[in-house]
Amino acid sequence: MKFFLLLSTVFLTGACYCAPSNSKGNGGNATQDSGDETPVSQVQRVTQQIPQEKQTVPSTNVGAPTPVPLHNRSTKELAVPITLDLAKVDTNSVDVPATTVRDGINTTYYYPKGKFYFEKIVDEAKTVWESTEKKCSPAYTISKGNVTFLALLLKKSDDETDLIYYEKKNLGWKLVEKTKSENIIEELKRQPEQPAVKTIDLDLSDVDSTAFSVEESEEDKVPIKKYAVKTDHHLNEINDGDFELWKSESPNKHCTLATVYFEGENPMLLSLTLNQGFVYLKKNGKWVGVSKDDCDVALTEMKRLASLPKARTVELDIADIDGNAFTVKEEALEGVPLKTVTPKDGVLITSVMDGEKEVWKGADKEHALQVLVCYDGESPVSVVVNFVKADGKNVWRYHNLKENEWSVVKKEDCENLLEELKKEVSTELPKDVSTVQSAEQDGLVLDLASPNSSQCKSFDYNFAGNAVQLIVPNKGTTVSTLMNGTEDVHALSAGETLQYANLYLNKDGTPELILVTLKTSSGISRRDYVKEEGEWTVCNNIDAKMRSLRTSTTFKSNFTMDIALANSTKECSVFEVDLLGITIRHFFPKPGHLVIGVKDGDKELWTPSKDLDNCLSCLVYKKGSMELLEITLVEGGSVGKKYFEKLDGKWNNITQGDLLNKLQEMRKSVSSPNPSTTPSQ
């Protein structure tokens, strides 16, 4: 029988064979020094080598063994519960810990005195074990090198005993299955002596900085933390909260460096350098092991996403709304003018002003999703702000103009003001005005789920990880209603004309976000819709929705995009269509293909200056003899654009302002949206 298995056997049988000193058996006095060959003496004879009964242990004076006290009491006799603190033993109730050394393993025993027993084990302030049903006597630690176990002999009755093990980690003691513990102890016995090292864990959600050298950095806008294990420490286990990521299967294998890649504050990718190889893990809902190639692909995708534009915070002035930052929907509710203001992609509203008067100001991390402005004639008199609080809660706040000052009011106050305005307008408007305002436009129903070539053109492409479908009605086709199968998306009002729709698709190829571009009497406007619980509703945050629909793909190839091409290739989607009165040729790399250069035939237009620089799209605008080019790029980890005009067969650099002015010339009477509203975004 192996040493520690024998020890557990003796603990389990001691209550049956060890008689109290005043008991009688075999017709005489039974004592531990009896020469009779009784069951008691048999057990004692077997256990002379271990610290049980009359065993001896080395004292501080080498070669002078000291006896260990006897403690053989029945479970009923163990009547007084106490707590054992491994870090500071109370010798008033616990024998002075005795230690034996065998096979290089140190075993230290903790025997409660008299009628005491352990009902709780702590290590400094941390509880290791506690029970109101079982009595612990004794407890002992087993250690060699950097491995330490705590064994507890638990007694429910004289016939019901159990032996359990805990292993010491840098974050505390951890319960370990008995057989596994004893196998590890047996393996330790066979190992040669090693310099003392400490076994530690790494918890990504709560890092013990005393055990690691931490280096924080950033690579192409991806935050990185490197946890290097300090000298005389072995990292044998890595967790993320309650989820185990990696654990060494052998005392000889440990991690020397853990490199963690973050998305914001969330760890998403993990590279482990072991003393025997490497391990890679990726978080996709849950942590899974991946190959090095898959890890590299995931890191490249993280860098690409990190390079995309970040949202900028802006102030909305309802007295002078910036069309470059906001989408404005104008309508009349029973004659009362209303404007619904929605921030465009990458824009966060942090305050609302009326000239120099403050209407609403968000607290830290709060931003508005939508602002509804109600007018009395041309003057704003009521503002409703739909905003997101720091905890993610969606809130509506109502404001009315009182005595030339904006005040927060109740919802009913806002509604009452609107009713008053309706009554005032109804006495002023001609009888037929309401009929004109509510009249439905004649036209056909366009089903976006099944585009009909007799009604529209359809183009599929991929932009920055999003699968997109562009649908453009044919010339002469008037659309009154947009549907997605049986689902209502948008009913066009009088004066609205559909220009095109961008459908952002999920991984199954069905739309979850639709951007509808319309021509109205006041210019070009856009309505954004998101599918929620089977219905299409106004989308208040299209940037977040686009991000949720992005997918990563395996890298396939690098290539140079040639804008002289008229047709698609295996690497690039190419199509041409008239939008808002201008012919636009679109160029988009297909999934998995990276654009590392742009040319026009044999004329080079752009080349990358850094390894990860790439082109996301090219748009060539044509009308008459005028030709413009807009290139969307990722350079130095940031998304930007370059603009060109073709003169005498040569492309010349121009500014964004130049491009906007020339697009306005091309469209003439058609209002010019910001280039960011084109289908490429």
- Torsion angles phi and psi, residue 300, rounded to 5: -60, -40
| Same-domain pairing of 208 and 222 | yes
Q: Is residue 207 part of a domain?
A: yes
| Same-domain pairing of 527 and 565 | no
Structural domain count, the chain: 5
Cα 289 to chain center, whole Å? 17
DSSP string, 62-113: TT--EEPPP----GGG--EEEEEETTS--TTTBPPPEEEEETTEEEEEEPBP
User: pLDDT at residue 607 above 50?
Assistant: yes
Distance CA 379, CA 455 (A): 42
User: pLDDT at residue 475 above 50?
Assistant: yes
Q: What is the mean pLDDT of residues 524-549?
A: 89
Check residues 192 and 78 and name the one with the higher pLDDT. Answer: 78
Q: Is residue 281 a contact partner of residue 294, using CB atoms and an 8 Å limit? A: no
| Same-domain pairing of 142 and 76 | yes
Q: Scanning the structure block, which residue is given the tokens 């704003």?
A: 380
| Same-domain pairing of 296 and 376 | no
Q: What is the mean pLDDT of residues 591-619?
A: 93
Q: Is residue 251 part of a domain?
A: yes
- Label each residue of 239-298 as H, E or C: EECCEEEEECCCCCCCEEEEEEEEECCEEEEEEEEECCEEEEEEEECEEEEECHHHHHHH
Distance CA 227, CA 239 (A): 13
Q: Is residue 372 part of a domain?
A: yes
| Same-domain pairing of 404 and 479 | no
Nearest alpha carbon to residue 654 among 665, 638, 641, 671? 641
Q: What number of other Cβ atoms are within 10 A of residue 627's Cβ?
A: 18
Which of 244-248, 413-417, 561-565 has the highest mean predicted lDDT (pLDDT)? Answer: 561-565
Report helix angle 3-17 to 178-190, nearest 10: 130
Q: What is the mean pLDDT of residues 72-81?
A: 84
Of 58-62, 180-184, 444-448, 673-677, give the lowest mean pLDDT range: 58-62
Write down which residue in 281, 307, 333 finishes a domain: 307
Q: What is the mean pLDDT of residues 72-93?
A: 88
pLDDT digits 0-9 by tens, 307-316: 776 778 899 9
Q: Is residue 335 part of a domain?
A: no
Q: What is the mean pLDDT of residues 511-531?
A: 89
| Same-domain pairing of 178 and 43 | yes
Reduced to 3 states (helix: H, G, I; strand: E, B; else coil), residue 666 is helix
How do beta strands 66-67 and 56-57 pair?
A: antiparallel
Q: Tokens standing for 654? A: 């121009």
The confidence score (pLDDT) of residue 433 equals 42
Q: Tokens standing for 293? A: 């190639």
Q: Is residue 434 part of a domain?
A: no
Distance CA 597, CA 607 (A): 5
Q: What is the mean pLDDT of residues 156-162?
A: 86
Share of the chain above pLDDT 70, in %: 84
| Same-domain pairing of 563 and 538 | no
Containing 412, the helix (H) or strand (E) segment is helix 411-426
Task: Tell me the residue range of the domain where 71 lies.
Answer: 3-190
The confidence score (pLDDT) of residue 8 equals 45
Distance CA 340, CA 347 (A): 16
| Mean confidence (pLDDT) of the chain | 81
User: pLDDT at residue 677 above 50?
Assistant: no
Nearest alpha carbon to residue 7 among 178, 147, 121, 174? 178
Check residues 45 and 639 and name the one with the higher pLDDT. Answer: 639
Check residues 547 and 251 and name the one with the higher pLDDT. Answer: 547
Q: Is residue 331 part of a domain?
A: no
How do beta strands 367-376 and 379-388 pair?
A: antiparallel
Q: Is residue 329 part of a domain?
A: no
pLDDT digits 0-9 by tens, 338-378: 899 998 877 889 999 999 999 999 987 788 989 999 998 88
The confidence score (pLDDT) of residue 70 equals 47
The confidence score (pLDDT) of residue 604 equals 94
User: pLDDT at residue 466 above 90?
Assistant: yes
Q: What is the mean pLDDT of residues 120-128?
A: 90
Q: What is the mean pLDDT of residues 185-190?
A: 84
Share of the chain above pLDDT 90, in %: 37
- The secondary structure of residue 433, as a DSSP letter, is H
Partners of 584 in the β-ladder: 577, 621
Cα 156 to chain center, whole Å? 46
| Same-domain pairing of 505 and 594 | no
Write down which residue in 402, 428, 454 finishes a domain: 428
Check residues 195 and 679 and name the one with the higher pLDDT. Answer: 195
Write down which residue in 135, 169, 190 finishes a domain: 190
Reduced to 3 states (helix: H, G, I; strand: E, B; else coil), residue 357 is strand
DSSP string, 394-408: EEEEEEEEETTEEEE
Nearest alpha carbon to residue 190 among 237, 276, 250, 249? 250
The confidence score (pLDDT) of residue 441 equals 42
The confidence score (pLDDT) of residue 71 equals 61
The confidence score (pLDDT) of residue 19 equals 35
Q: How far is CA 266 from CA 68, 227, 270, in A?
A: 54, 16, 12
| Same-domain pairing of 143 and 269 | no
Distance CA 342, CA 542 (A): 10
| Same-domain pairing of 379 and 394 | yes
Of 7-11, 197-201, 255-259, give the lowest mean pLDDT range: 7-11
Q: Is residue 326 part of a domain?
A: no
**Is residue 380 reached through a cis peptide bond, with omega within 30 degrees of 0 on the bond before it?**
no
Q: Scanning the structure block, which residue is given the tokens 């060699």?
A: 144
Reduced to 3 states (helix: H, G, I; strand: E, B; else coil), residue 517 is strand
The confidence score (pLDDT) of residue 428 equals 58
| Same-domain pairing of 364 and 459 | no
DSSP string, 331-352: EEETTEEEEEEEE-TTEEEEEE
Check residues 128 and 208 and name the one with the higher pLDDT. Answer: 128
- Amino acid in the structure at residue 219: E
| Same-domain pairing of 172 and 217 | no
pTM: 0.41
- The secondary structure of residue 607, as a DSSP letter, is -
